[in-house]
A and B are shown apart, each in its own frame.
Chain A
Amino acid sequence: MKRDAIIPSMFHRRLLLLLVMVVLGMFALVGQLYRLTIVQGAQHLTEVESALVDRELLPTYRGRIVDRKGEVLALDRPCFDILVDYRLISGEWAIAAAGSEARRTHRDEWNELSRARRDELIEEYRPRYDRQVEAVWRDIARLGNTPLEEIEQRRDAISARVENMANHLYNEWRKQYERQFQTTITIEEVAKPIREQRQPHVILTRIPSGQEAGFKELSANGPQIDKNQPAVSVRTSGTRDYPWSHTTVTLDRSHLPSPMRSDEPLTIEIEDSMAQLLGSLRDQVNEQELAARPLYGPDREISDLTGYLPGDEVGSRGMEQTLEAALRGTRGIITRHVDDKPDERIEPKPGGVVQLTIDTRLQTRVQGILDPHFGLTRVQPWHGQENELPLGTPLAAGAVVIDVKTSEVLAIVSSPNALPASLQKYRASLKGDDLVQFDRDFTPPGVFSRATDIPYAPGSIVKPLFMSWAMSHGGWGLQQIVDCQGHFYPDQKEMLRCWIYRPPSYAVHGPLGPVEAIARSCNMYFYTIGNTLGLKKCVQVYRDWGLGRPIDLGVSLYNRSVEESELADPKNLPGRSEPLMLAMGQGRAAWTPLHAAAAYATLARGGYYISPTLIRNDPRGVQPIREDLELDDQAVYLALKGLHEVVNNQQYGGARHIDVGTGEHKYEPIFNAESVDVWGKTGTAQQVWPTRIIRYDVNGDPLIDAAGRPVFIERGRAIGSHSWFVGLVGPGSGDGRGRPEYAIAVLVEWGGSGSRCAGPIANQIIYALKAEGYLP
């Protein structure tokens, strides 16, 4: 059929062509419309609906930390934070306000003005608003009783942080786009204000109740970012308070060694006794923490109410850090709808209450006992001159008290618990390798806990543990006798000697059974055990008694196993005498007072190991390790009997009495508490001194030179010794028939003799246990 026969006119055909073109265009439009409304509709709806609600976060409160008796150790007290909108900080508000005024004033001609002329006009009006901003900073400083310079520093810090964050995000976006579109993208192309550049930031915290009124007035009358958005705002908050951060303890001195004894109790101020344990909060959550647990998800929507916002406080050390998740709490949120829907409110949930196993009052007492002002942790005449330290030199020490039944830690003390200010300053000036070297040499007190962080050679305190293990698993007889001739190798009198085999008398113990071997701490007996067990079993002994077991107290802890430490290093291939040395606590194994106390508690439980705990019902779900060492009952009995003899045998008990150094050879019992049974063992663990040590004055303060550096004593590679006492105590009549209830470990760094230095401290800890009602 001819074309003309259908539509005879060319004009009509052309009309039809035009109409078809329009209809095709309409189809294209409807197709895209379908894609937007139907295919992508839900996504777009979500986006627009998110603008229909206004969300306000409600602050939460950090949970309390309490001790085993419910004493509050850390809590949040209500206070106020002062926040400043970033647009005021960045100067953007002043420019915007000047721009508004310029536009208002030049309303008629504004549309015709060039960009440059508009900028000129804005600059003309700007100084007035800059002055307003400066006045705001002055008001904040005045109302907050804070120097203006400090406020300005904080402001600049916020600015630097937010700009860094923005740059970081821009870079990320840029990379993302470059990956997506395979082309080079500039930062300017992706830069747009980030949320933090549109938010208020904390400039002052912990403004006490009552002091916020002035800030509220400033908020109402000061610059406004928007109609209902003041540039300065006041937010309800909480400040972390540690009620036991400063306290005093009064200690009875009537049971001290006689040169120190007094009927007058001594009151000692205790600062930050719990600081190392509890840790602290940091004002600003760092970027890693923010990234790991952000409050806003990748879509910039609230994804986790327990998450962080910039400026949040966060636990930075100790329990505050370890238990951050449990303590932190969950923010609340008010969702206000732009429409008539009622507001939705999710109440904030305060952080949980965490209970520690510590007894704060006992802890404070032990802290006082280890305080150099009390005297037991200063070099005393009766300590002997093993370490050649001047009399009165303060000694660092650590002590741990564990409940035998549960392995809960009652006290865990390190002294001094803060680095002296002068050393803090010096340490802060060090960087890189110098800092590492300083910490390696001096393991600064206050930075490292003597009770949990630093491993020491155990010395003789491992002897009963070795013996009971060897009797149970190493084929060592229950009545095995060793004839001590002073040295282990018959032909080498200078090597592997017994401690008694010394000039001028070169005494020997002669034949000894197990109980007496412990009581006399005969090295020969334990060299022989070590020789019998061999290296592999000696390592196993340490492992079974807890060295290298994963103890998770929630605070930092030296926790390497024997194999992972020195013995595993191929350069340290053990010689034939290594098992012998390990068996008497010297070899290449080292542990902390916590390990020692846990091991003795295990012995007291008949060989049932329970790893020590510091947190009750640990919210992290950490459970103590429990393991039966399958010790022979007789072996445990003999070890405990030996330990009792150490403390009580008047004839040869190694920790029975000490010469108090009056020059009259006056011996006094180390342990003089009544109604208790004490089992224990001293240790004098030799260790190579650091090549340098810090020199102290008579007051116990470090000597500092004119340049602010500490004065060092160069020691070369001299050998010194740490002082140990580890024991068990329980109610009893002193005859050893009682039941051990508490394990005590005391370590005095470079204290020399275990009996003379650490022993009297352990005695005072027993009195502290009595004072707090743990012992009769």
Chain B
Amino acid sequence: MSGPSSTRLITAGSPWARQHRLTPNTLNQAAPSSAVPGVLWWNPAWFSVAAAVALSVIGVSAINLTEPVGAGENWIKQLVFLAVGLVACAACAMPSPRTWRYIAYPSMVGAILLLVFVLIPFIPHEIVRPRNGARRWINLVLTDFQPSEAAKIVLVLALANYLRYRKNYRTLSGLLVPFAIMLVPMGLILVEPDLGTAMLFGPVLFAMLLAAGAKLKHLFTIAGLGAITIALIATVSLLAAQRDPPSYPILEKHQVDRIQGLVNQIKGDRRHADTINYQAFKAMTIIGSGGFFGLGPERSRLILRTQRLPEDHNDMVFAVVVNRWGFVGATAMVGIYLVYLVGLVMTAATSMNPFGRLVCVGFAAIIASQMVVNIGMNIGLLPITGMTLPFVSYGGSSLVANFAMTGIALSIALRPAGYFARPSFEFDEQHEGLERVEYIR
């Protein structure tokens, strides 16, 4: 590199390095002393923070619409959760990325223990209260805590920590360990059961491996095989359910019903509009009625009251947003998500910390996947799976966890250059053996 750039690429064995007698080893050793540890206040993560706050305000407003005037309490609780979330964001922004890296594995162990804890059958109901047959929540008196929300974060931290300086994941066998790291919490969450949260782990791993430089042919082959497997399972389940008598060899009846419902829904078949597809059709109707500019607060509140959309303050809050603000408002909200994601991606792009880079990608993958799946199920493209819309849906655990992720990303953005590091995620197949190191002044 030349010129007045703030970034100088030092390649081990390059003339510049040789001139300055720098070997890879000396470069590493020099890192702590030669780094510029200052805080970069103006960084792209603030876009994400601002977007998160904007989305949360939209969420509070939407939740307010789902409740009677003057009688609602969820939107006030959500405001409190927002405040707690902002505090959590600030708290998570304070430690250096290195601290987060250090606690990645222990946190993972802790999260797994909590996930196991909620599944222990003899735990008193005062501590773990099952809802609708699911054991997901730990009673913290003032609110409930959902370990799977924490597990999302620590999975990203643990994966980032594992992947940061490796290159074995460029082989098929090297992908096994990252998969194993993902499968442990994912399996426990599936047992709860919480299919929605568990479904996020796949895209997160995919995105992090992709960013970390895993071979595309490996990733897309695995993703393709996964898709084919899911399609096969769905097809076999549907066919088995149509036999006389029906059988459910792989999936439970309600899951097959959901798949059948989705197929019918996409075909425009309203047969199950009052049964298994009730929620989806109601949501689509409420969304459609929002029109271009939305119906405004009063009319929207009336319609929501009369339509009785289940979980309108939670999983189906997007329907409320569209009904209130219309196509324009909903598109703007999707735009805000894009701003949030771009903030994280830019943070990853500008950070010199491989751990931080992957953490940002992982968090972005969580938010993007949640958003796509949640909106997809609201607008009838995906089955209803019980997934919240990040920052917007009602729920303390989810909101605080999302702000915590944003805080960690802010922590990474505030400290973009910690030290000289070994080169990471750069695998130039044309110049195999060459490694590049980036340095930010």
- Chain A residues packing against B (C-beta within 8 Å): 4, 9-12, 14-15, 17-19, 22-23, 25-26, 28-30, 32-34, 36-38, 40-45, 47-49, 51-52, 108, 111-112, 173, 177, 180-181, 185, 189-190, 192, 338-339
Contact A41 B303 (CB under 8 A): no
Q: How far is the CA of A189 from the CA of B261 in the complex (A)?
A: 11
A157–B285 CA distance with the chains assembled, in angstroms? 38
Q: Which of A34, A37, A108 has the most CB of B within 10 A?
A: A37
Rounded to whole Å, the gap between the CB of B438 and the closest CB of chain A is 8
From A29, A111, A185, contact of B334 by CB (8 A): A29
- Check if B322 sits within 8 Å of A26, measured CB to CB: no
Check A38/B285 contact, CB under 8 A, given A11-B426, A29-B376, A52-B303.
no
Contact A36 B349 (CB under 8 A): no
How far does the alpha carbon of A17 sit from the alpha carbon of B379 in the complex, in Å?
26
A-B contact pairs, 22 of them (CB 8 A): A4-B428, A10-B426, A11-B213, A11-B424, A22-B338, A22-B372, A25-B368, A29-B379, A36-B379, A37-B292, A37-B322, A37-B330, A40-B288, A41-B291, A45-B289, A48-B286, A49-B303, A51-B307, A111-B133, A112-B133, A190-B271, A338-B306
Pair A37/B372 contact, Cβ less than 8 Å: no
**Interface size range of chain B in the complex:** 35 or more
User: Taking the complex as formed, is B269 at the interface, i.e. its CB lies under 8 A from any CB of chain A?
Assistant: yes
**CB of B331 within 8 A of chain A?**
yes
Return chain A residues, CB-CB under 8 Å to B207.
18
Taken together as a complex, chains A and B put the C-alpha atoms of A173 and B273 apart, in Å, by: 13
Please tell me if the beta carbons of B133 and A36 are within 8 angstroms of each other in the complex: no
Given the known interface contacts A36-B287, A37-B322, A52-B303, the answer about A18 and B331 at a Cβ–Cβ threshold of 8 Å is no
Q: Which residue of A lies closest to B244 (CB)?
A: A186
Query: Of B210, B272, B288, which is within 8 A of A36 by CB?
Result: B288
Looking at B27-35, B103-111, B139-147, B340-348, the stretch in contact with chain A turns out to be: B340-348
Q: Chain B residues with Cβ under 8 A from A189's Cβ?
A: 271-272
Q: Is the CB of A19 within 8 A of B292?
A: no
Known: A10-B428, A181-B269. 17 other contacts (CB 8 A): A10-B213, A14-B425, A18-B210, A18-B211, A32-B381, A38-B327, A48-B286, A48-B303, A48-B307, A49-B303, A51-B303, A52-B306, A111-B131, A111-B132, A112-B130, A181-B267, A338-B302
Listed in ascending order, the chain B residues whose CB lies under 8 Å from chain A are 125, 130-133, 207, 210-211, 213, 267, 269, 271-272, 274-275, 284-292, 298-299, 302-303, 305-307, 322, 326-327, 330-331, 334, 337-338, 341-342, 345, 348-349, 357, 361, 364-365, 368, 372, 375-376, 379-381, 424-428
Q: Which 3 A-B pairs have CB atoms at the shortest separation, nearest pair first?
A: A44-B288, A51-B306, A37-B327
Contact across chains for A32 and B345 when beta carbons are under 8 A apart = no
User: Could you tell me if B289 and A38 are in contact, using CB atoms closer than 8 angstroms?
Assistant: no
A22 cross-chain contacts in B, Cβ below 8 A: 338, 341, 364, 368, 372
What residues on B are CB-neighbors of A185 within 8 Å?
271
In the complex, which of the residues B271, B330, B337 has the most CB atoms of chain A within 10 Å of its own CB atom? B271
Q: Considering the complex, give the chain A residue whose CB is closest to the CB of B358.
A: A11
Asked if residues A44 and B269 are in contact (CB atoms below 8 Å), the reply is: no
Closest to A50 in B: B306
State the Cβ distance, A192 to closest chain B Cβ, in Å.
5
Q: Which residue of B lies closest to A42 (CB)?
A: B291
- B425 neighbours in A (Cβ, 8 Å): 9-11, 14
Q: How far is the CA of A44 from the CA of B291 in the complex (A)?
A: 9
The residue of chain A having its C-beta at the shortest distance from the C-beta of B426 within the complex is A10
Q: Which residues of A contact B349 (CB under 8 A)?
A: 11-12, 15
Within the complex, the shortest CB–CB distance from B23 to chain A, in Å, comes to 23
B380 lies within 8 A of A32 (CB): yes
| B372–A25 CB distance below 8 A | yes
> In the bound complex, do residue A44 and residue B287 qualify as a contact, i.e. CB atoms below 8 Å apart?
yes
Contact yes or no, A48 B285, CB < 8 A: yes
Question: A33 contacts B269, CB within 8 Å?
Answer: no
A11-B425, A33-B287 as given contacts; A23 in contact with B379, CB under 8 Å = no
A32 close to B379 (CB less than 8 A): yes
Residue of B nearest to A19 (CB): B345
The answer to whether B274 and A33 have CB atoms under 8 Å apart is: no
Cα A26 to Cα B298 in complex, Å, equals 29
Partner of B289 from the list A9, A10, A44 (CB cut-off 8 Å) is A44
Q: CB distance B361 to A37 under 8 Å?
A: no
Q: Closest CB of chain B to A343's CB: distance in Å?
A: 16
Determine chain A's interface SS by DSSP, over half rule: helix
Distance from B159 Cβ to chain A, minimum over Cβ atoms (Å):
15
Roughly how many angstroms separate A34 CA and B291 CA in the complex, as a whole number? Answer: 9
Are A111 and B130 touching (Cβ within 8 A)? yes
- Cα-based distance from A189 to B337 in the complex (angstroms): 39
| CB closest residue in chain B, given A54 | B306
Which residue among A15, A25, A180 has the maximum number of chain B CB atoms within 10 Å of its CB? Answer: A15
Question: Distance in Å from the Cβ of B110 to the closest Cβ of chain A?
Answer: 27
Min C-beta distance of B329 to chain A, whole Å: 10
Bound form: Cα–Cα A25–B322 in Å: 18
Which residues of chain B have C-beta atoms less than 8 A from A177's C-beta?
A: 269, 271
Shortest CB-to-CB span from B53 to chain A, Å, is 20
**Which partner residue on chain B sits nearest A112 by CB separation?**
B130
What are the residues of chain B within 8 A of A41 when measuring CB–CB? Answer: 288-292
B288 touches A30 (CB 8 A): no
CA distance A199 to B242 in the complex (A): 34
Contact among B298, B341, B357 with A19 in the assembled complex (CB-CB below 8 Å): B341
CA distance A35 to B427 in the complex (A): 43
Q: Which residues of B contact A4 (CB under 8 A)?
A: 428
Question: Are B426 and A48 within 8 A (Cβ)?
Answer: no
User: Closest A-chain residue to B295, C-beta based?
Assistant: A45
Bound-state CA distance A42–B132 (Å) is: 36
Q: What are the residues of chain B within 8 A of A47 when measuring CB–CB?
A: 285, 289
Q: A25-B372, A29-B376, A48-B306 in contact; A15/B211 too (CB < 8 A)?
A: yes
Query: Do the beta carbons of B326 and A37 come within 8 Å of each other?
Result: yes
Given the complex of chains A and B, what is the CA–CA distance between A296 and B360 in angstroms? Answer: 58
Can you name the residue of chain B whose Cβ is closest to the Cβ of A44?
A: B288
Residues of B within 8 A of A11 (CB): 211, 213, 348-349, 357, 424-426
Decide if B302 touches A339 in the complex (CB within 8 Å). Answer: yes
Measured CA separation A334–B272 after assembly (Å): 32
Q: Would A10 and B427 be within 8 Å (CB), given that A29-B375, A37-B292, A45-B288 are in contact?
A: yes
With beta carbons under 8 angstroms apart, the residue of B125, B132, B291, B365 that contacts A38 is B291
By a CB distance below 8 angstroms, the chain A residues around B289 are 41, 44-45, 47-49
Known: A14-B211, A15-B348, A45-B291. A338 touches B269 (CB 8 A): no
Known: A11-B357, A11-B425. A37 touches B287 (CB 8 A): yes
Q: How far is the CA of A34 from the CA of B379 in the complex (A)?
A: 10
Contact B275 A192 (CB under 8 A): yes
A37 to B348, CA, bound (A): 36
- Which residue from chain A places its CB closest to the CB of B357 in the assembled complex? A11
**Complex contact B292–A38 (CB within 8 A):** yes
Q: Quick check: B302 and A28 within 8 Å, CB to CB?
A: no
Question: What's the least CB distance linking A524 to chain B, in Å?
Answer: 81
Specify the chain A residue showing the minimal Cβ separation from B301.
A339
Alpha-carbon gap, A177 to B338, bound state (A): 41
Q: Are A338 and B331 in contact (CB under 8 A)?
A: no
Contact B334 A26 (CB under 8 A): yes
Known interface pairs A15-B361, A111-B131. Does A52 touch B302 (Cβ–Cβ under 8 Å)? yes
A407 to B182, CA, bound (A): 98
Q: How far is the CB of B119 from chain A (nearest CB, A)?
A: 14
| Complex contact A26–B288 (CB within 8 A) | no
Q: Is the CB of A36 within 8 A of B292?
A: no
Least CB distance, A228 to chain B, in whole angstroms = 15
Once bound together, how far apart are the Cα atoms of A111 and B125, in whole Å?
Answer: 12
Interface pair B291/A33, CB less than 8 Å apart? no
| A40 contact set on B, CB distance < 8 A | 288
User: Residues of A contacting B327 with CB < 8 Å?
Assistant: 33-34, 37-38
A195 and B213 alpha carbons, distance in the complex (Å): 60
Alpha-carbon distance between A536 and B235 when the two chains are bound, in angstroms: 78
Contacts of B345 in A (CB 8 A): 15, 18-19
Q: Are A37 and B288 in contact (CB under 8 A)?
A: yes
Q: Select from chain A the residue with minimum beta-carbon distance to B350.
A: A12
CA distance A38 to B293 in the complex (A): 10
- Among residues of A, the one whose C-beta sits closest to the C-beta of B308 is A51
